[in-house]
Structure 1
Amino acid sequence: MTAFSLEPAQLAWCAELRTLAAQRLRPLADKGEPGHVNRALVAELGSLGLLGRLFTSGALDLCLMRESLAYACTEAETALALQGLGAHPVHAHGTQEQRARWLPRVADGTAIAAFALSEPGAGSDAAALELRAEPESRAEPESPQGEGPPAAPALAAAPDGPARWRLTGEKCWISNAPEADFYTVFARTAPGAGARGVTAFLVPADRPGLTGRGLDMLSPHPIGALDFDAVPVTADDVLGAVDRGFRVAMGTLNLFRPSVGAFAVGMAQAALDATLAHTAGRDAFGGKLRDLQAVSHQVAEMALRTEAARLMVHAAASAHDADAPDVPGRSAMAKLLATETAQYVVDAAVQLHGARALQRGHLLEHLYREVRAPRIYEGASEVQRGIIAKELYARQEAR
Structure 2
Amino acid sequence: MEIIILLIVLLVVVLAVGDIRRSLVTKPVFALFKRILPPLSDTEREAMEAGDVWWDGELFSGRPDWQKLLDMPEPTLTKDEQAFVDNQLAQLLDMLDDFKIVQQDRDLPKPVWDFLRKEHFFAMIIGKEFGGLDFSPAANSYIVSRIASRSISAAVTVMVPNSLGPGELLTHYGTKEQQEYWLPRLADGTDIPCFALTGPEAGSDAGAIPDEGIICKGEHNGEQVVGIRLNWSKRYITLAPSATVLGLAFKLYDPDSLLGDKRELGITCALIPTSHKGVESGDRHFPLNQAFLNGTTFGKDVFIPLDWIIGGIDYAGKGWRMLVECLSAGRGISLPALAAASGHVTQRMTGAYAYVRQQFGLPIGVFEGVQASMGKIGGTNYTLESMRRLTISALCQGKSPSVVTAMTKYHMTEMGRQVMEHAMDIHAGKGIQLGPHNYLGHSYMATPVSITVEGANILTRNLMIFGQGATRCHPYVLEEMKAAANPDEEQGMRDFDSLLVKHVSFAVGNVFSSLWMALTGSRFNETPVSGETARCYQHLTRMSRGLAMTSDVSMLMLGGDLKRKEMISARLGDVLSHLYMASAVLKRFEEEGRQAADLPYVHYAVQHHLHEIGSAFDGFFRNFPNRFVAWSMRALVFPLGNHFNEPSDQLLQDISTDMMKPGVTRDRHTFLCYWKDDESDATGHMEKAFLSMLKMKDVYKTLRKAQKRGELSSNLNGQELADVALEKGLIDNETAEKLAETERLRLTAIGVDSFAAGILEKNQFYTTKGDLRKAAVRD
Give the TM-score normalised by the residue count of structure 1.
0.85
1:118 aligns with 2:118: no
Q: Which moved more, 1:262-271 or 1:40-49?
A: 40-49
1:69 aligns with 2:147: yes
Q: Does the C-alpha gap of structure 1 residues 226 and 347 become closer, same or farther in structure 2, counting only changes over 3 Å? A: same
* Corresponding residue for residue 148 of structure 1: none
1:249-293 CA deviation, whole Å, 9 max, x = no partner? 112212221111112211221122211110011111331011112
Structure 2 counterparts to residues 211-230 of structure 1, below 5 A: 211-212=280-281, 213-218=283-288, 219-230=290-301
Share of identical aligned residues, percent? 20
Contact map agreement 1:14 1:65 (CA 8 A) in 2 = no
Q: What secondary structure is seen at the aligned counterpart in 2 of 1:122?
A: coil
Q: Does the C-alpha gap of structure 1 residues 39 and 120 become closer, same or farther in structure 2, counting only changes over 3 Å? A: farther
Contact map agreement 2:174 2:310 (CA 8 A) in 1 = yes
Q: What secondary structure is seen at the aligned counterpart in 1 of 2:207?
A: helix
Q: What secondary structure is seen at the aligned counterpart in 2 of 1:363?
A: coil
Distance in 2 (CA, whole Å) between partners of 1:119 and 1:9 is: 39
2:272 alignment partner AA: V
* Corresponding residue for residue 376 of structure 1: 452
Distance in 2 (CA, whole Å) between partners of 1:22 and 1:310 is: 21
1:114 alignment partner AA: C
Distance in 2 (CA, whole Å) between partners of 1:315 and 1:2 is: 12
Contact map agreement 2:217 2:225 (CA 8 A) in 1 = no
* Corresponding residue for residue 712 of structure 2: none
* Corresponding residue for residue 302 of structure 2: 231
Cα drift, residue 97 of structure 1: 2.7
Contact map agreement 2:344 2:381 (CA 8 A) in 1 = yes
Q: What secondary structure is seen at the aligned counterpart in 1 of 2:307?
A: helix
Cα drift, residue 342 of structure 1: 0.8
* Corresponding residue for residue 254 of structure 1: 328
Q: What secondary structure is seen at the aligned counterpart in 1 of 2:190?
A: coil
1:129 alignment partner AA: I
Q: RMSD over aligned Cα, in angstroms?
A: 3.1
User: Which of 209, 230, 241 is 1:178 aligned to?
Assistant: 241
Q: What secondary structure is seen at the aligned counterpart in 1 of 2:344?
A: helix
1:192-243 CA deviation, whole Å, 9 max, x = no partner? 99x9711100011011111122223313311111111011212211113000
Cα drift, residue 184 of structure 1: 0.9
1:59 aligns with 2:137: yes
Q: What secondary structure is seen at the aligned counterpart in 2 of 1:247?
A: helix
Cα drift, residue 135 of structure 1: 1.4
1:204 alignment partner AA: P
1:389 aligns with 2:478: no
User: Which of 208, 212, 230 is 1:167 aligned to?
Assistant: 230
1:23-71 CA deviation, whole Å, 9 max, x = no partner? 13x1599457665565542331233343332221232332122112212
Unaligned regions of 5+ residues in structure 1, if any? 139-155
Distance in 2 (CA, whole Å) between partners of 1:189 and 1:324 is: 30
User: Which of 124, 128, 146 is 2:208 aligned to?
Assistant: 128
Give the TM-score normalised by the residue count of structure 2.
0.45
* Corresponding residue for residue 121 of structure 2: 50
* Corresponding residue for residue 19 of structure 1: 90
* Corresponding residue for residue 99 of structure 1: 179
Contact map agreement 2:214 2:253 (CA 8 A) in 1 = no
User: Which of 405, 410, 413 is 1:331 aligned to?
Assistant: 405
Q: What secondary structure is seen at the aligned counterpart in 2 of 1:165?
A: strand
Q: Which moved more, 1:113-122 or 1:5-14?
A: 5-14
* Corresponding residue for residue 353 of structure 2: 278
Q: Which has the larger radius of gyration?
A: 2
Q: Which moved more, 1:163-172 or 1:59-68?
A: 59-68
Structure 2 counterparts to residues 284-323 of structure 1, below 5 A: 284-323=359-398
User: Which of 266, 270, 273 is 1:197 aligned to?
Assistant: 266
Contact map agreement 1:42 1:80 (CA 8 A) in 2 = no
* Corresponding residue for residue 146 of structure 1: none
Cα drift, residue 127 of structure 1: 2.2
Contact map agreement 2:343 2:380 (CA 8 A) in 1 = no
Q: What secondary structure is seen at the aligned counterpart in 1 of 2:270?
A: strand
Cα drift, residue 369 of structure 1: 1.7
Paired residues, what number? 379
* Corresponding residue for residue 268 of structure 1: 343
Q: Does the C-alpha gap of structure 1 residues 65 and 344 become closer, same or farther in structure 2, counting only changes over 3 Å? A: same
Distance in 1 (CA, whole Å) between partners of 2:433 and 2:230 is: 45
Cα drift, residue 21 of structure 1: 3.9
Between Structure 1 and Structure 2, which shows a larger proportion of helix residues? 2
Q: Which moved more, 1:344-353 or 1:11-20?
A: 11-20
Cα drift, residue 9 of structure 1: 6.5
1:323-355 CA deviation, whole Å, 9 max, x = no partner? 446x11000011111100111111111110011
Contact map agreement 2:217 2:226 (CA 8 A) in 1 = no
Cα drift, residue 2 of structure 1: 6.1
Q: What secondary structure is seen at the aligned counterpart in 2 of 1:216?
A: coil
Contact map agreement 2:154 2:292 (CA 8 A) in 1 = no
Contact map agreement 2:269 2:310 (CA 8 A) in 1 = yes
Q: What secondary structure is seen at the aligned counterpart in 2 of 1:229?
A: strand
1:360 alignment partner AA: L
Q: What secondary structure is seen at the aligned counterpart in 2 of 1:226?
A: strand
Q: Which moved more, 1:184-193 or 1:235-244?
A: 184-193
Q: Which moved more, 1:9-18 or 1:98-107?
A: 9-18
Q: Does the C-alpha gap of structure 1 residues 216 and 242 become closer, same or farther in structure 2, counting only changes over 3 Å? A: same
Cα drift, residue 19 of structure 1: 3.3
Distance in 2 (CA, whole Å) between partners of 1:13 and 1:304 is: 31
Q: Does the C-alpha gap of structure 1 residues 93 and 9 become closer, same or farther in structure 2, counting only changes over 3 Å? A: closer
Distance in 2 (CA, whole Å) between partners of 1:95 and 1:30 is: 42
Distance in 2 (CA, whole Å) between partners of 1:305 and 1:18 is: 27
Contact map agreement 2:265 2:317 (CA 8 A) in 1 = yes
Unaligned regions of 5+ residues in structure 2, if any? 1-69, 127-133, 256-261, 479-502, 504-779
Cα drift, residue 359 of structure 1: 1.1
Q: Does the C-alpha gap of structure 1 residues 12 and 238 become closer, same or farther in structure 2, counting only changes over 3 Å? A: closer
Distance in 2 (CA, whole Å) between partners of 1:283 and 1:95 is: 63
1:365 aligns with 2:412: no
1:92-124 CA deviation, whole Å, 9 max, x = no partner? 222233223332232223321101110111111
